Amino acid sequence: MKLKTRLTISFCIIIFVPIFLAVFVLFAFQQFQMKAIEKTYGLEEGNFNYLTNSMQLLNRFTKKNYEYLLQEVKQDPDQFQDPIFLERINRQLHEKYSSLLVRKEETLIYRGDESLRLQESDLPGYGETEPAAISGTYVDGDEELLIKQIDFAFTDGVRGSVFIVTTAYGMLPEVQSLLLDGCISVLVILVLTAAMLIIWIYRGIIRPIKKLETATLNIKQGNLDFTIETEGNDEISDLCAHFEEMRKRLKESFEKQMAGEQENRELISNIAHDLKTPITTVKGYSEGLLDGVADTPEKREKYLKTINSKANEMDALLNELTLYAKIDTNRIPYNFNRINVAAYFNDCIEEIGMDLETKHIGLAYFNYVDNDVMIIADPEQLKRVVNNIIGNSVKYLDKKQGLINIRIKDVGDFIQVEIEDNGQGIAAKDLPYVFERFYRADASRNSATGGSGIGLSIVKKIVEDHGGKIWVASKESVGTVMYFVIRKYQEVIQDE
């Protein structure tokens, strides 16, 4: 859920849920609490009008008591001089926060509540009020009082009055309970609404933010081996997903960096080892010359040739390292030209053949392309590809009669070069990795034959920069075939 939608729903919950619950609570009170008040105090048609009109509630409160006294006055007015009768009536009224007063002429002959601060002058006079069960006189003094009056005459003809006095401040504990329950209900509604929103917001916003906080702390400490799980489709979930993608890329970058550092360490180790052998040889033979060990012209010539050969090996190795540095930064200098395939490879084979002849290695060359086939290539870099592949083949020739076959074929839009040897071959488990930088199928064997392990990675880079592809097939103890393709040059004919 989107954050905007979540905030809109939260706003609606804050506004409408408390209103709905409050209406529900009021309805419940109307159904139950008002019935309890009606039952307790004998009110009719219990509803909230009594609560909003306190005088109406007070009037109805003692209605039945008033009607009872009115009947008693008519039947036997003299009993209102009987203390026992009056005490019984007063006890009934006391339960309704009311008390009984009886006046004969101008003198109060009975006061049901002595603590009531009501003077005789505060009472209405004889005949001042009309008989009614739901009406009375309101006295607003130190005590808020409602006075109901019944005028009558004793049997001796003396005027008398009966008063029902109801106090307003201490009445109706059920009404007070109702108000208290209402306040508590509103408070509970607000608390429940707030708790619901807090839980919802925590699950949707705070918890994902805590995950991000933990993830940030892990990254700060250098720990990238964790996962941020995303739930939902809101903005924070999208942020978590982007953060997880960033973590993955950081981890990949870190792993590549570590792999690069490992490769560099291997390169330094390989170069140090590969340089150590020729340097040791040069140093030994040069000391032999200086010490006069080579005391004949033939020995001196042999020593000098060895020194020269080892110097050339070191020069070739340094050149390879220089080219590797350019490959690593994509700064190989290319000079592309149109090249005739037949002429170019004829020249290459002539030069290669002379070198292989001195090493007593046989060479067979087969050209199956037409004489006019052209390619776009850098002659120097393409020659480096052929020389590196053949150099690798020569290193691992283990037969008494070594043999290298070179075939040039036409394969549609490409020319395909195949360089085959009858060397020791490459194990199947090593074939997928032969073009990786610094990879050596057999570290001890490569140490003996020399090489930094970057020759074939350079070859692969050059071929791919020419828009071609290179692959290998090999069988142990049988030999290896290197294949690569270069796209033909085709002129584009424009319509006039």
Q: Mean pLDDT lowest for which of 227-241, 313-327, 437-451?
A: 437-451
Name the domain boundary from 287, 315, 331: 331
Average pLDDT, the chain: 81
Residues 115 and 7 in one domain: no
Residues 407 and 454 in one domain: yes
Strands 374-377 and 337-340: antiparallel
**CA–CA separation, 320 vs 461, rounded Å?**
13
Read off the pLDDT of each residue in 288-312 and give the average, rounded to a whole number: 87
If residue 242 lies in a helix (H) or strand (E), which one and from where to where? Answer: helix 235-290
What CATH number should be reported for the domain holding residue 59?
Answer: 3.30.450
Residues 290 and 355 in one domain: no
Q: What are phi and psi of 343, to 5 degrees?
A: -65, -45
For residue 448, pLDDT beyond 50: no
Amino acid at 46: G
Residues 297 and 340 in one domain: no
Q: Residue 198 has which token pair? A: 């807090």
The answer to whether the beta carbons of residues 281 and 251 sit under 8 Å apart is no
The answer to whether the beta carbons of residues 208 and 236 sit under 8 Å apart is yes
Residues 436 and 298 in one domain: no
Give domain status of residue 217, yes or no: no
**CA–CA separation, 151 vs 160, rounded Å?**
6
Strands 362-367 and 403-411: parallel
If residue 9 lies in a helix (H) or strand (E), which one and from where to where? Answer: helix 3-41
Quick check: pTM over 0.75? no
pLDDT digit string, tens, across residues 43-91: 555 444 555 445 566 677 788 888 899 899 899 999 999 999 999 999 9
pLDDT at 481: 96
Instruction: Give the position of tokens 């933010």.
Output: 209
Read off the DSSP letter of residue 361.
-
At 314, is the secondary structure helix, strand, or coil?
helix
**321, 359, 348: which is closest to 437 by C-alpha?**
321
Give domain status of residue 496, yes or no: no
Q: Which domain holds residue 386?
A: 336-487
Residues 189 and 294 in one domain: no
pLDDT band at 239 (very low <50, low <70, confident <90, very high): confident
What CATH number should be reported for the domain holding residue 341?
Answer: 3.30.565.10
Give domain status of residue 26, yes or no: yes
Between 219 and 414, the higher pLDDT residue: 414
Q: Residue 344 has which token pair? A: 């170019």
Give domain status of residue 215, yes or no: no
Between 486 and 180, the higher pLDDT residue: 486
Instruction: Give the position of tokens 């004889």.
Output: 126
Q: What are phi and psi of 168, to 5 degrees?
A: -90, -30
For residue 172, pLDDT beyond 60: no
pLDDT band at 442 (very low <50, low <70, confident <90, very high): low
pLDDT band at 408 (very low <50, low <70, confident <90, very high): very high
pLDDT digit string, tens, across residues 329-365: 677 778 999 999 999 999 999 999 988 988 889 999 9
Residues 150 and 187 in one domain: no
Residues 280 and 297 in one domain: yes
Q: Which residues contact 112 (CB under 8 A, 6 or more apart)?
A: 86, 90, 93, 94, 99, 100, 101, 165
pLDDT at 28: 72
Q: Residue 288 has which token pair? A: 């032999």
Residues 320 and 415 in one domain: no
Q: How many domains does the chain have?
A: 4
For residue 275, pLDDT beyond 50: yes
Residues 262 and 410 in one domain: no
At 48, is the secondary structure helix, strand, or coil?
coil
**CA–CA separation, 451 vs 73, rounded Å?**
133
pLDDT at 452: 56
**CA–CA separation, 365 vs 390, rounded Å?**
13
Name the domain boundary from 126, 155, 171: 171
For residue 176, pLDDT beyond 70: no
Task: Quote the radius of gyration of the chain (alpha carbons, Å).
Answer: 57
